[in-house]
Structure 1
Amino acid sequence: MRKLPGTTLFAALLAAAVLPAPASAAGAESYVVLLQDGAALSAFTADPAVAVTHRYESAVRGYAARMTPATAARLARDPRVALVQRDGVATIAAQSVPTGVDRVDAEVSPTARIDGVDERVDVDVAVIDTGVDLDHPDLNVHTAGAKNCSSGRSADDGNGHGTHVAGTIGAKDDANGVVGVAPGARVWPVRVLNNKGSGSFSDIVCGIDFVTAHAGEIEVANMSLGGSGTDSACGSNRDAMHEAICRSVAAGVTYVVAAGNSAADSATFVPAAYDEVITVSALADFNGKPGGGAASTCRADVDDTFADFSNYGADVDLIAPGVCILSTWKGGGYNTISGTSMASPHVAGAAALYKATHPTASPAAVKSALQAAGTSDWTTSTDPDGTHEVLLNVATS
């Protein structure tokens, strides 16, 4: 080996002593570096003390890289550098609490625990509908529990309605999108309606049959659907859908159903007319607060009143928000729609909260508990009949 002159050897040792710490060194962090006009980007990105993650050449000139704070300080002193900034973290806009979730006081429920932390309600809810977006990031979809009784080849939602229902029931409390009444509840997609939102009673019975087969796992089922029909006695074998629901309820599944949107007596709609289910009418609410006076938003109606489209009558057990409800939608999106279909899942979410703390409660006990916890804090004078159902409230659930 050739011996270096003393001064050269000293210089080499000195250079080695001041070599910058590698970007992989302990304590490395992410920084954004902007350069002065005319500075060569390549002169900086070749620096062994930085691990470049992005190069900027259009909107700004510079780069992003991982480096130690000491390296960042050195760069900040370089006259060719305009800015060295510690990297930050951005997320999509903060999670929205839909007006319906607010109005039923789910945000103060000790079981829902809505605080932006994804702690999921340990309850299984079947959504008997158009299916559910199986990949929606804001839903806890139990894909292994999906069932298709309708057209198509899967329980994936080609309409949007079922996904909307699922979000009101249990959208995750994860600081993104929206949050449901029972955040993170496991959703079982049971597709009985096609992409146009219609389906046969036989398809619906297929869905109920599937839910009943899994009654040991599914605590609550939501049916935001209906057709013409009347009530009958369990065991009378007058109505296949009713018989299926009678046996499913007997197996322990709590059914929550929409009253219907014909501004008529729900006694002429099934499954709304069945005594064994929880039938839900719709409240028009535009700000999540009692008292009325809020301006209408997505459709014309009057704040804090019985929704002008909602069915009514003695078969209705509870009222819940059902006008201009923001929730999840197919394709990973979100949408605002109205209907008793939107009121029903608020109650299904409430039933899920109750079952989370009362796992042995029968469907009849769940119905009684939700009715007992409800309030009359809405403009009951607008109810088109003499039966003023209580407004869902889950503040203590």
Structure 2
Amino acid sequence: MRRIRLAVISFATAAALSVGLAPMATAAAAPSPAEKYIVTLKPGADPGTVAAKHQRSRGASVTHVYRHALHGYAASMSSSAAAAIAAQPEVAAVIPDLDVQMSAQSLPPGIDRVGADESSAAAGDGRGTVDADIAILDTGIDAKHRDLNVVGGVNCIKGNNSYADLNGHGTHVSGTAAAKDNSVGVVGVAPGARLWAVRVLDANGGGSWSSIICGIDWVTARAATIEVANMSLGGAGGAGSCTDHGLREAICRSTAAGVTYVVAAGNSAADAGGFVPATFDEVITVSAITDFDGEPGGVGTPSCQTGFDDTFANFSNYGADVDLTAPGMCVLSTWRGGGYRSISGTSMASPHVAGAAALFLSAHPDATPAVVRAALVAAGTLDWTGDPDAVKEPLLDVADF
């Protein structure tokens, strides 16, 4: 099965999900090996009941049951069992699951560059705090990190119930979005915002669409509490539709419930229109620029990597599907084990915008995801160079928020 990579400097190709399965012959043959599928059900069918029935009658090994963003379940089973289940009257579709794999206090240059120190939270003055909730769909979060306000979470990876970060990526993303303004470490765009660790990727950064949908389903059930979700991940694929029985449908339903989704554009130096979820209309898609000094003007000195200050990052995806850009090169943030690390990618740009969305929503709690996107885009600036396409996206600016 081809893999999809997270937005930390590489996206590999992955097959697009196909909707439904053709009936298969039942001629005598060796049992087919177990494969992973996502099963969506028609209205009126209870996901838990149907999943249990299919587990008994067809040998489906159920891994997730969805009740909010999707209506169905995920399971491992043989292809012949999948075909038989697809023919059941209560089943809307059976689609293949796909594997995925990752995308004293200082004021990081990126936080400075997007104006977070000038916002109402005054990030970096030692007193800033933002009353908002952000879900981080990633490798988990180090809940013991003294610079992060982790209030709960869920583990969608099979094996245990812990949402602890065994990789580091999710903890890094979390700090850029919401590290505390507490005189130690770093500070985020929305300092001290409540963080929900939604572990959809394992210690190696691997997971599947079913685990990601599990996370979206969990967030959707808590849409009255969680305003913003960051997804620094993605892979190759088409736009699909809000009735595709897969990832797009789950995000459509979650967005309709009021959750603002912010996603990485990807790191293939290609048009984001060929990547999901970056190409989805319902999300805020973020590309990356290089910023070494937190100021415009292009005079910053390269730090962790070579590059030119205030220019489009050479790895970043681009195109009409991108809504905003933000710093994504040599971004210093929190790391698992209570530490800090500087890494690069559109994964690092995306949480700047997730923090900005939380900051905006803390003052405008009734704003819809579409209103949040429009406000962030309208507030952006164009003081950067090197856009590889004809549509220059605004650089995030929260100075007036």
What range is the shorter-chain TM-score in? Answer: 0.7 to 0.9
Distance in 1 of aligned mates of 2:125 and 2:398: 16
Match in the other structure for 1:142 = 151
Secondary structure of 2:105's match? coil
| Match for residue 158 of structure 1 among 134, 152, 166 | 166
Contact 1:168 1:346 survives alignment (8 Å): yes
Distance in 1 of aligned mates of 2:123 and 2:327: 20
| Match for residue 314 of structure 1 among 299, 317, 320 | 320
Shift of 1:112: 4.3
Contact 1:134 1:156 survives alignment (8 Å): yes
Match in the other structure for 1:42 = none
Q: CA RMSD in A?
A: 1.0
4+ residue runs over 2 A deviation: 111-114
> Where does 1:29-40 land on structure 2 (aligned, <5 Å)?
none
Match in the other structure for 1:53 = none
Match in the other structure for 2:294 = 288
Match in the other structure for 2:61 = none
Shift of 1:367: 0.1
Distance in 2 of aligned mates of 1:207 and 1:164: 19
Shift of 1:275: 0.5
The structure with the largest alpha-carbon Rg is: 1
Cα distance change, pair 332–151 in 1 and its aligned pair in 2 (3 A)? farther
| Match for residue 108 of structure 1 among 118, 124, 129 | 118
> What amino acid is the match of 1:174?
N
Secondary structure of 2:304's match? coil
1:233 is aligned to 2:237: no
- The TM-score normalised by the length of structure 1 is 0.74
> Where does 1:219-258 land on structure 2 (aligned, <5 Å)?
219-235=227-243, 237=244, 240-258=246-264
- Greater displacement, 364-373 / 285-294: 285-294
Secondary structure of 2:314's match? coil
Distance in 2 of aligned mates of 1:147 and 1:270: 23
Match in the other structure for 1:387 = 391
Match in the other structure for 2:108 = 98
Secondary structure of 2:288's match? strand
Contact 1:112 1:181 survives alignment (8 Å): no
Match in the other structure for 2:201 = 193
**Which has the larger helix fraction?**
1
Distance in 1 of aligned mates of 2:195 and 2:168: 15
| Match for residue 133 of structure 1 among 129, 133, 142 | 142
> Greater RCO between the two (CA within 8 Å, min separation 6)?
2
Shift of 1:286: 0.6
Q: Which runs of 5+ in 2 are unaligned?
A: 1-103
Match in the other structure for 1:14 = none
Distance in 2 of aligned mates of 1:192 and 1:201: 9
Cα distance change, pair 152–338 in 1 and its aligned pair in 2 (3 A)? farther
| Match for residue 332 of structure 1 among 333, 338, 342 | 338
> Where does 1:207-218 land on structure 2 (aligned, <5 Å)?
207-218=215-226
Secondary structure of 1:385's match? coil
| Match for residue 191 of structure 2 among 172, 175, 183 | 183
- The TM-score normalised by the length of structure 2 is 0.73
Contact 1:112 1:121 survives alignment (8 Å): no
Contact 2:107 2:124 survives alignment (8 Å): no
Distance in 1 of aligned mates of 2:264 and 2:296: 22
Match in the other structure for 1:90 = none
Shift of 1:359: 0.1
Shift of 1:165: 0.3
> What amino acid is the match of 1:132?
I
Shift of 1:365: 0.1
Distance in 1 of aligned mates of 2:346 and 2:122: 23
Distance in 2 of aligned mates of 1:228 and 1:308: 19
Secondary structure of 2:341's match? strand
Shift of 1:268: 1.1
Distance in 1 of aligned mates of 2:110 and 2:158: 32
Shift of 1:295: 1.7
Shift of 1:113: 4.9
Shift of 1:120: 2.4
- Percent identical among aligned pairs is 64
Match in the other structure for 2:212 = 204
Distance in 2 of aligned mates of 1:325 and 1:209: 30
Match in the other structure for 1:120 = 129
Distance in 2 of aligned mates of 1:97 and 1:339: 19
Distance in 2 of aligned mates of 1:383 and 1:120: 34
Distance in 1 of aligned mates of 2:270 and 2:315: 8
> What amino acid is the match of 1:149?
C
